[in-house]
Amino acid sequence: MRGIIAAGTHIPHYRLDRTEVAAFFGKGGGRGQRSVASYDEDTTTMGVAAARRALASTDLEPQELWFATASPAYLEKTNATAVHAALQLGPEVGALDFGGALRSGAGALRTALTAGVSTLVAAADQRGGLATSADEAAGGDGAAAVLIGDDTDGPVIAEYLGAGVATEEFLERWRLPGGDRSRAWEERFGEVTYGPLMSQAWERALAATSLSADDIDKLIVTGTHGRAVARNAKRLGVRDEAMIDDLSGSVGNTGTAHPLLVLSSALEQASPGETIAVMTLADGVEVIVLRTTDAISAVSPAMSTAGQIASGTTVSYGKFLSWRGMVSVEPPNRPLPNRPSASAAHRRDDWKFGFVGSRDRSSGMIHLPPARVSEKGGAVDDMEPVPMADTVGTVVSFTIDKLVYSPSPPVVFAVVDFDGGGRAPLELADCGPDEIEVGMRVLPTFRRLFTADEIHNYFWKVAPVRGVR
Amino acid sequence: MGSHGIKDQVAIIGMGCTPFTEHWDKSLDDLIIDAAQLTYASAGIHQDDIDAFWFGTSQSAASGLAMGGPLKIHGKPITRVENYCTTGSEAMRAAAYAVASGAYDVVMALGAEKVKDGGYQGLNAFPIPTDGTQRTLTAAGMFSLILPAYAKKYGVDEDEIRYSVATIAEKNHFNGARNPLAQFRRETSAEQICQMAAVAGRLSVFDCAGVADGAAAVIMCRAEDAHKYTDNALYVKALSFVAGTGAGSLDPDYDYTTLPECKWSADDAYAQAGVTSPRDEIAVAEVHDCFTPTELVLMEDLGFSDPGQAWRDVLDGAFRLDGRLPVNSDGGLKAFGHPVGASGLRMLYEIWLQLRGEAPEERRIADHGRKLGLVHNLGGYPGEMVSFVGIYGTELG
């Protein structure tokens, strides 16, 4: 049996209330909320967050890591290698980007399901457009990761039954490399063009799985063309109650990540024996069909998608625009940070990307960053690596620094003592200056500190522990 | 093995200090020349009479050439020294040891910093290529961690601690108002400071040292030769220096209410000088008040207050000009600003004036019969710093 072994999602902590757009500009926006990546998040960091959640419930180390996004942090340089490093996967594990097109997330998922090796498929996107645009309101930021394998790799929670594909070349939505917004042809064209493609892919999927539309317990249809999704999905013949909320009201459409995100969310709420179909509209149509197994009952994520949606904090439209680089806000009058050194960073990949410290074997003292000589006892080169990324810590002292450079001042900063030993002074993520307090429980989170000289400086911050753990 | 010090082996025979201010009209070269000329005049000697030079600057220049060029020092050794904010003190320490070793007869240490050409407010670190994981907080942010930690440890109300450190700034502004060399010469009240907007933790801009350009210098010789130059020399009683390991950022046992490197260097200096009760033997102290909480905990680490009592002693006026142990009688970093390479020698300049009775009357300390002055100078942050303590006296023995 092949299928999904684990899944995880990352929905950024911040939300934009869509009514704020019209309140500011007199037009645009809409109802509900969309998720907003914080200023220190990008598709790579969100991919790391989702992948960590997916791997939290399994001991399986995948043989491949595939990362899909239409908003890559780098071109030419593989972004999946940063995810790979943050997850501390072995060097024999492949890491590939599926980049550029919105279809690459659903395509990577289907390809992994039909491939012969265990594969972690992570997809992330940051969606938006010009101020007041429909894309700005309908888009969302987020990531999802799905671990695919055989039952010999670990318990399969959703068995892969089959797929259906329809491909056609037509210009419905596009963006030039480096462009600040997507363009779309008039709406009716997409609606009528997607209709037949949806039917074709659907029929192929049902034929491949020997199922009828009636057999489908849950149907997920996602795509950036809202009308094509809404109008045509009704014609697929599934029961009304099988239609799954696509999270467009609470999260927005997270592009490349969205089919994986809604699927992962659905799996968190699924019972054994449910047949789930996922249809993705993007330059044609992708359909996969899965059936949950008894192992689904054991799924109990530390932070569910619903929990993440419920625990968000709204951000003002002004801050949203500044985080997106659409409004320039006066920075503190301090020098810009220097670019990190590639060679210096490479020597400390495990620390910088994996948050791995060292523990002195004689004194037991944990050193963050890792050290060669022990602070206690002075033992030399007698340290073992100690991964800290999943260790909860406590804020023992903090400050708010309004003078220092930050992409979004002020800096909220804390001295953190980790459970079981180890201290590090770290920046807070997803935490306003009024929220922090001594005693707050925090977890490491992989973030982009800043970008200097076209180099993204990734490292770890800590974020408040929220929701059930 | 041991730290023996060089008590009574080296004499200070001349000092000079430029005004500390925003010297828009003076270059680093100008500051070096001005401080050197003031110091030569103070010692009554010529540049050619000096055998070796130490030049302290943190970020304004890179080698001894930066001093030899403007002063046209021919054929002499000039060593550039850098050790964070203790740079000036370290230049002095190296020069003193060179005399004590017998290598040279007469030496000069000069510290200078041209901060205001940088184009940004505050001091800014020299860029060194790194892996990008280093903390990016300002020094104000790091030192602001002291207040909540101190309040919690000693069960003192945070508002009360905040007011207490504001009175430190009030005191240092009061003293600076009586010093023509100081950058800030206006008095201000603790109440006004408490009402100002916070920039880091609960600290306002007035809890931070100013930013100024400046230079200061000292000339030294063997103690037995001091009479050739002056009847009024100061003698080096102790020079102590400790560099930490950054343990405070690693070790959960560190609680941000003390600066261990400062305590260690003070204990070592007292041992070198034979001081057993600093409160009774030190007449005046210049300490590194880069931020008001720094001076607060230094009072305890230097042994001027009992642990947990400094905030109360501060409120009681113990360290005012008319208090039991005047601290930063010249106005400190608070009123002088902090041209990094010069600050340590500026502190020593005030000890030079006060112990020899040359400080202007309006800020002259009372004569309690004590003959020792102390300089404390630090660089870095709570939990990871370098610390210098020097003790100087008017009499041998």
Instruction: Give A384-411 pLDDT, tens digit per residue.
Output: 999 999 999 999 999 999 989 899 999 9
Domain layout of chain A by residue ranges? 2-323, 356-464
Query: For A449, which of B132, B137, B141 is closest by C-beta distance?
Result: B132
pLDDT value of position B123: 73
CATH 3.30.565.10 fits B10-121+213-233, yes or no: no
Chain B contact set for A337 (CB, 8 A): 136
Q: Is the pLDDT of residue B316 over 70?
A: yes
Nearest C-alpha in B relative to A413: B137
- Best residue in B117, B126, B136, B137 to probe A by mutation, most A CBs within 10 Å? B136
CA distance B115 to B333: 14
Query: For B130, which of A341, A376, A458 is closest by C-beta distance?
Result: A341
Summarize the confidence of residues A363-373 as an average pLDDT.
97
Query: For B138, which of A347, A401, A458 is closest by C-beta distance?
Result: A401
CB–CB contact A400 B252 (8 Å): no
Distance from CA of A426 to the nearest CA of B (A): 7
pLDDT value of position A331: 85
Neighbours of B119 (CB within 10 A): 8
Q: Is B103 on the interface with A (CB under 8 A)?
A: no
pLDDT value of position A467: 64
A223 confidence band (pLDDT: 50, 70, 90): very high
Task: Please give the C-alpha separations between residue A195 and each of A110, A169, A172, A186, in angstroms, as whole numbers.
Answer: 21, 14, 13, 15
Tokens of A416: 């953190």
Q: Is B129 on the interface with A (CB under 8 A)?
A: yes
Query: For B133, which of A352, A405, A421 is closest by C-beta distance?
Result: A352
pLDDT value of position A305: 96
pLDDT value of position B127: 79
pLDDT in tens, B209-228: 999 999 999 999 999 999 99
Distance from CA of A395 to the nearest CA of B (A): 11
Bridge partners for B381 per DSSP: B384
Q: Is B127 on the interface with A (CB under 8 A)?
A: yes
CA distance A134 to B159: 50
Q: Is B117 on the interface with A (CB under 8 A)?
A: no
| pTM of the predicted structure, to 2 decimals | 0.94
CB–CB contact B252 A457 (8 Å): no
CB–CB contact B250 A365 (8 Å): yes
A278 in Cβ contact with A7 (< 8 Å): no
| Pairing assessment for the beta strands B10-17 and B214-222 based on DSSP bridges | antiparallel
Query: For B144, which of A399, A424, A459 is closest by C-beta distance?
Result: A399
Q: Using a pLDDT cut of 90, give the percent of chain B over it.
A: 95
pLDDT value of position A469: 43
Q: Using a pLDDT cut of 90, give the percent of chain A over it.
A: 94
Chain A contact set for B136 (CB, 8 A): 337, 404-406, 411, 427, 449
Chain B contact set for A425 (CB, 8 A): 135, 137, 249
pLDDT in tens, A11-42: 999 999 999 999 999 999 999 999 999 999 99
A:B CB pairs within 8 Å = 119
CB–CB contact B136 A411 (8 Å): yes
Nearest C-alpha in A relative to B197: A402
Summarize the confidence of residues A260-283 as an average pLDDT.
97
Mean pLDDT of chain B: 96
Nearest C-alpha in A relative to B131: A345
Domain layout of chain B by residue ranges? 10-121+213-233, 139-208+235-393
Burial A90-125 (b: 16+ CB within 10 A, else e): eeebebbbbbbebbbbbbbbbbbbeeeebbbbbbbb
CB–CB contact B251 A405 (8 Å): no
Give catalytic residues of B, as residue numbers.
Answer: 85, 338
Chain B contact set for A402 (CB, 8 A): 198-200
Summarize the confidence of residues B38-65 as an average pLDDT.
97
B149 in Cβ contact with B141 (< 8 Å): no
Q: Using a pLDDT cut of 70, give the percent of chain B over it.
A: 100
Q: Is B257 on the interface with A (CB under 8 A)?
A: no
pLDDT value of position B354: 98
Chain B contact set for A341 (CB, 8 A): 129-132
CA distance A424 to A228: 50
pLDDT value of position A302: 85
Q: Is B196 on the interface with A (CB under 8 A)?
A: no
Q: Is the pLDDT of residue A106 over 60?
A: yes
Chain B contact set for A433 (CB, 8 A): none
Task: Please give the C-alpha separations between residue B217 and each of A91, B4, B287, B341, B389, in angstroms, as whole numbers.
Answer: 58, 25, 18, 10, 17
B64 in Cβ contact with B79 (< 8 Å): yes
Q: Is the pLDDT of residue B367 over 90?
A: no
Which of A302, A307, A252, A258 has its CA nearest to residue A278? Answer: A258
Q: Is B201 on the interface with A (CB under 8 A)?
A: yes
Which CATH superfamily is B139-208+235-393 part of? Thiolase/Chalcone synthase (3.40.47.10)
pLDDT value of position A374: 97
CB–CB contact B250 A338 (8 Å): no
**What fold, for A356-464?**
OB fold (Dihydrolipoamide Acetyltransferase, E2P) (2.40.50)
Q: Is B250 on the interface with A (CB under 8 A)?
A: yes
pLDDT value of position B368: 86
Nearest C-alpha in B relative to A340: B132
Lowest mean pLDDT among A396-405, B78-87, B97-106, B188-197: A396-405
CATH 1.10.150.120 fits A2-323, yes or no: no
CA distance B54 to B89: 11
Summarize the confidence of residues A405-424 as an average pLDDT.
95
Torsion of Cα atoms, A248 then A254 then A259 then A263, to 10°: -70
Summarize the confidence of residues B71-93 as an average pLDDT.
98
Query: For B122, which of A345, A403, A425 is closest by C-beta distance?
Result: A403
Residue type, B329: S
A99 confidence band (pLDDT: 50, 70, 90): confident
Q: Is B148 on the interface with A (CB under 8 A)?
A: yes
Q: Is the pLDDT of residue B255 over 70?
A: yes
Same fold, B10-121+213-233 and B139-208+235-393: yes
State ipTM.
0.91
Nearest C-alpha in A relative to B144: A399
A451 in Cβ contact with A417 (< 8 Å): no
Summarize the confidence of residues A257-278 as an average pLDDT.
98
SS3 at position B334: helix
Q: Kindly report each contact of residues B45-48 with a partner whose C-beta sits within 8 Å and lies 24 or more positions away, as own/partner.
A: B45/B14, B45/B106, B45/B219, B45/B229, B47/B71, B47/B73
Summarize the confidence of residues A271-282 as an average pLDDT.
98
Nearest C-alpha in A relative to B251: A423
CB–CB contact A404 B250 (8 Å): no
Task: Please give the C-alpha separations between residue A98 and each of A45, A72, A87, A108, in angstroms, as whole numbers.
Answer: 16, 10, 18, 7
Give the sign of the dihedral formed by CA A153, CA A155, CA A158, CA A159.
positive
Cβ contacts of A181 within 8 Å, gap of 6 or more: A128, A129, A130, A133, A135, A175
> Which ranges of A17-60 would DSSP assign to H, the alpha helix?
19-25, 43-55
Chain A contact set for B145 (CB, 8 A): 397-399, 415
